[in-house]
Structure 1
């Protein structure tokens, strides 16, 4: 009897073991077969997302000159932002020389940058090397010109901007001088295509809005040193110049210094320009000759932040709706200068 009970008990154990063994061998592989591919896909997706998010960008920037506050502050801002995110950003001045700019772009290609930004001395001269960059898989952004071999162009309607400068100057002229008669000087920079467009806008507005004003002198000036020299030369030949229209803030700052040195600062003397640099705004607030400057996008720091964001978007594969991205322009006067002045 005991043997029979023991035999039955042992048989039950064997059966239980067999059932358990069957569950393990049949159920587990089925679960693995169903879940393993899903787990692998999720892991791959996670790895891919991590790789994209953690990608470190290498950015190369070449601008016309760093003597202009807008470009210098924007570039230092971009570099600081890049380093804060673990990216690398190198910027250089081509000193307004196309051959040097081409060499800089070639070096950025050789060093395998992810993104290159160009502020062209001559856009036509660098079209081919920018094509080489894009052929190498590098994204290219142009700051200022409507170029062909780029992913995006960050541009200004320069005729419109120049017209705004001339229009503001005309309002001043008509309010300060009988019949709008006065002598005007223009600090231009015709060797750069977009700045020639700006100059043409200034002259068109003056002709239309202040027809009795006379442009007696035009001198090139893109930075403060050139502005001082140009304005001193103009004042020697035309001491009665009362209004100065400048294509950029660098020349405007120099013109103001020359007028101060010549003791020409007066209620009926005004400088009208673009860029709204900190120096221009300080002069406005202090009641000096700077009366108005067209701000483009924002302060140089805001410009740097805006440019860096676009460069990051390009480097991370984001698409833009249009190749040409137009910038906002608006006048800054003594009435709103403090809003944009950075102490």
Structure 2
């Protein structure tokens, strides 16, 4: 009897021990599985973080995004940056220097790698851009020869204005025997565009001296261009040639001409930028007769800017002053640039 009892107790102890060992192993396996899952989640997060940080971070501020060539360039550049794993924010400062300074300050606070600035006022942005460079941020200046920039992407704006004026003068001489009334849509609020406007006026005086400039007013976007042209026609209904510092004003002038019923083979609008709207109007034999393509379309501009940004952020040595190419677009070659 005692022997049987001892055997029973022994069997129960073995059973309890086996259950305890099973539970212990199970807990160890669960803990091990939890550790593996946690490690995988941590590795995944690290990979995601690395992917997010794999490209450059760019902040860009431009004068006026209602200008089609500027807005399309910004959007194309954003696409290039993001395609390489980076991030980009582009902003319209509405031609307000104080607003542009605030935008640059925000880029600095967000620790971007590079800032692309299309300055409204050179003197106003120099100090804040100096602060950006002190923080290790690369600065790319679009159209202005800034002191506090790593690259300045330039146009000789006076000479560009002379190209616009020369083409207008050729039209005046060929179509109007050298004599007609001319309107100029300039934008003296921005120094480089003041130079461009001066180039236009000087070229017309030099190459079509009998032409008469009867109106000068500022317009930088289509809305302003149309409104200003409507006002010009009220005082000077015989205007036959309009010279504009940029495509925004030129597009608006063309619309005003059509709305006024003044579209004939003798009226012409001459400008720079060669926006898509301008080139479509050239193809359709509307008032836009010529525009100067600077570097290329928005995609071409973005490709060039991005190429320089890559070198800057990588720490490569680059020339500070880079001059842009110009191409005269007329009815003869518009199909090469307007697809």
1:157 is the counterpart of 2:153: no
For residues 328 and 298 of structure 1, the distance between their equivalents in structure 2, rounded to whole angstroms, comes to 8
For residues 188 and 164 of structure 1, the distance between their equivalents in structure 2, rounded to whole angstroms, comes to 15
* CA contact 2:155–2:323 (8 Å) conserved in 1: yes
Q: What is the CA distance between 1:311 and its match in structure 2?
A: 1.6
For residues 264 and 313 of structure 1, the distance between their equivalents in structure 2, rounded to whole angstroms, comes to 50
- Aligned residue runs from structure 1 range 152-191, under 5 A: 152-178=151-177, 180-191=178-189
Q: What is the CA distance between 1:225 and its match in structure 2?
A: 0.5
Q: What is the CA distance between 1:55 and its match in structure 2?
A: 4.3
Q: 2:200 aligns with which of 194, 199, 202?
A: 202
Residue aligning to 2:58 = 59
Residue aligning to 2:107 = 108
Deviation sequence 1:270-307 (CA, Å, 0-9, x none): 00000000100000000101100011001122112211
1:259 is the counterpart of 2:257: yes
Residue aligning to 1:18 = none
For residues 277 and 264 of structure 1, the distance between their equivalents in structure 2, rounded to whole angstroms, comes to 22
Residue aligning to 2:234 = 236
Q: What is the CA distance between 1:65 and its match in structure 2?
A: 1.1
Q: 1:313 aligns with which of 305, 311, 314?
A: 311
Structure 1 runs not aligned, ≥5 long: 1-50
For residues 266 and 313 of structure 1, the distance between their equivalents in structure 2, rounded to whole angstroms, comes to 49
Q: What is the CA distance between 1:107 and its match in structure 2?
A: 0.6
For residues 305 and 245 of structure 1, the distance between their equivalents in structure 2, rounded to whole angstroms, comes to 29
For residues 317 and 221 of structure 2, the distance between their equivalents in structure 1, rounded to whole angstroms, comes to 35
Deviation sequence 1:121-157 (CA, Å, 0-9, x none): 1011000000000011111010010110110100101
For residues 177 and 69 of structure 1, the distance between their equivalents in structure 2, rounded to whole angstroms, comes to 31
Structure 2 runs not aligned, ≥5 long: 1-49
Residue aligning to 2:335 = 338
Q: What is the CA distance between 1:310 and its match in structure 2?
A: 1.5
Deviation sequence 1:141-198 (CA, Å, 0-9, x none): 10010110110100101011000000000000001113x1100000000000000000
1:137 is the counterpart of 2:136: yes
* CA contact 2:54–2:85 (8 Å) conserved in 1: no
Q: What is the CA distance between 1:309 and its match in structure 2?
A: 1.8
Residue aligning to 2:291 = 293
- Aligned residue runs from structure 1 range 56-95, under 5 A: 56-95=55-94
For residues 308 and 70 of structure 1, the distance between their equivalents in structure 2, rounded to whole angstroms, comes to 16
For residues 327 and 87 of structure 2, the distance between their equivalents in structure 1, rounded to whole angstroms, comes to 33
Q: What is the CA distance between 1:317 and its match in structure 2?
A: 1.4
Q: What is the CA distance between 1:56 and its match in structure 2?
A: 2.2
Greater than 3 Å deviation, 4+ residue runs: none
Q: 1:281 aligns with which of 279, 294, 303?
A: 279
Normalising by structure 2, what TM-score? 0.84
Number of residue-to-residue matches in the alignment:
288
Secondary structure, aligned partner of 2:163: helix
For residues 75 and 242 of structure 1, the distance between their equivalents in structure 2, rounded to whole angstroms, comes to 34
Q: What is the CA distance between 1:308 and its match in structure 2?
A: 1.8
